[in-house]
Structure 1
Amino acid sequence: MFKYIVLGILSLLTLCYLVLNSDSYKLTDNVEVSTSYHRNILADNRRENLIKSEPEIDQLRKSQYTDSYQFKDCLQLQEVIEIFLVVNPETSITSIELENTMDMNIFEISSVNDNTEFSTKIDGKTGEIIENESERLDRDEENGVERKNKSLDLKEILSYQEVIAIAEEAIGGEGKNFKLSLERELNITFWEIEFSHNSLSYEVKIDAKKGDLLEINN
């Protein structure tokens, strides 16, 4: 009788072990699938230049040379563009500027539709619209002419954090008093970065898609 009881207990323990072990593997598999899935989603989003993880953003904000980052509280470029398009839908952006004025980080976005040009200023920290003005295009710029010639290609462009890091690497030191503008010349969309380093003023142009250094002046 005792023998059967012992065998019964051993069988029960074995069954419990198998169930728990099986669940463990299922849980591990689910975690692996979930982790892989979210990793792919994040990778897709980064390729579209829509989001970056906080460690990535911090790394870009604090390049090898920069200790205190001028735009540390600033919205991401994609966020600012989305805010702008709510205010001025169906327009094409022709330039974006970012600079610190009176201790405020201000984005100034220029855009056009077929017959009108717009100038919009957005608080870089809060996303508040500070100014939104419009005026008729010149006669020779109407009917989509200016729109065709000046519209920026905003697909998969580098962020302002990335181009600041590239510019600092190019001069081999920490920059200060940054002013950035995203512009187009011929068919190239580029970042122009103005800043100072060791009492010298620099102007650096960087291909907004490839990250290639186009020009350095000081």
Structure 2
Amino acid sequence: MTKKQTAIILFIMAAILSMTYFLNKADNKNTSAPANESQLKKENASADTSPKNDFPPKVTLVEAIESYQQEHPDTDISSIELEQSFNKWFYTIEGLDDEKEYELRVDAHSQKTSKKQVKKLDRDEKNGIKRNESKIDTSKLVALTEIGKVATENAAGEITELSLEKELSHTYWTVKVEEGLNETEVKIDAFSKDVLEIEQDD
């Protein structure tokens, strides 16, 4: 066999090996496609099962107040907020004594506390001045289930946020109810459940 014939044979073998390599690579792409499609379906399914609005949350208002009082005994509560963050409900409770103001966050699913803040009151707020003006009698508060029921009877949609505050002699909840792009705020007396005001923001 001449050198020329040997070179031709080697060239043909190299060409065959190259074709075999590219054919195998194409087959691997085709067989991996169903797996990728299956993975996408799983991801879409998991996205569809995201947590829904589960008002009222597992931890009750009474339990959240107890958590605050354990952290800050001998203080009075001045405001409570219940709002969602990443599809989870959290209470934010503020209170005060004669010298300082306190804030505590309570997980409404696990009752774990976090974001503990303390700050001094201004001079004109000390010695019980702000405390007497702002303190809320939590023993008379109506359950959140009742407040939520009143809110959704007066506004269509889901409850997304609640805030409790005292203004002069009135202690009331402001409840945000959302449906699509429509948001309605319903102000409800925290003791009697009377509707004080309904404000709609289209």
TM-score scaled to structure 1, two decimals?
0.65
Q: Distance in 2 between matches of 1:206 and 1:197?
A: 19
Unaligned runs of at least 5 residues, structure 2: 1-51
Q: Do 1:92 and 1:112's aligned partners in 2 also have CA atoms closer than 8 Å? A: yes
Q: Do 2:78 and 2:134's aligned partners in 1 also have CA atoms closer than 8 Å? A: yes
How much is the aligned-residue C-alpha RMSD, in angstroms? 1.4
Q: Do 2:148 and 2:159's aligned partners in 1 also have CA atoms closer than 8 Å? A: no
Q: Deviations over 1:148-168 (max 9, x none)?
A: 000012122112221111011
Q: Deviations over 1:58-96 (max 9, x none)?
A: xxxxxxxxxx65335421100111111010100100000
Aligned position for 1:180: 162
Q: Distance in 2 between matches of 1:73 and 1:181?
A: 15
List structure 1 segments (4+ residues) > 2 angstroms apart after TM superposition.
68-74
Q: Deviations over 1:132-174 (max 9, x none)?
A: 1101001110011110000012122112221111011112x3x
Aligned position for 1:141: 125
Identity over aligned residues, as a percent?
32
Q: Give the Å deviation of 1:109.
A: 0.4
* Corresponding residue SS for 2:153: helix
TM alignment of 1:1-218, pairs within 5 A: 69-171=53-155, 173=156, 175-218=157-200
Q: Do 1:70 and 1:176's aligned partners in 2 also have CA atoms closer than 8 Å? A: no
Q: Give the Å deviation of 1:198.
A: 4.5
Q: Do 1:70 and 1:178's aligned partners in 2 also have CA atoms closer than 8 Å? A: no
Q: Distance in 2 between matches of 1:108 and 1:200?
A: 25
* Corresponding residue SS for 1:181: strand
Paired residues in the alignment total 149
Q: Do 2:53 and 2:87's aligned partners in 1 also have CA atoms closer than 8 Å? A: no
Pick the structure with greater CA Rg. Answer: 2
Q: Distance in 2 between matches of 1:157 and 1:72?
A: 15
TM-score scaled to structure 2, two decimals?
0.70
Paired amino acid for 1:148 = N
Q: Distance in 2 between matches of 1:116 and 1:156?
A: 25
Q: Give the Å deviation of 1:107.
A: 0.4
Q: Give the Å deviation of 1:182.
A: 0.9
Q: Distance in 2 between matches of 1:113 and 1:156?
A: 20
Q: Distance in 2 between matches of 1:73 and 1:164?
A: 11
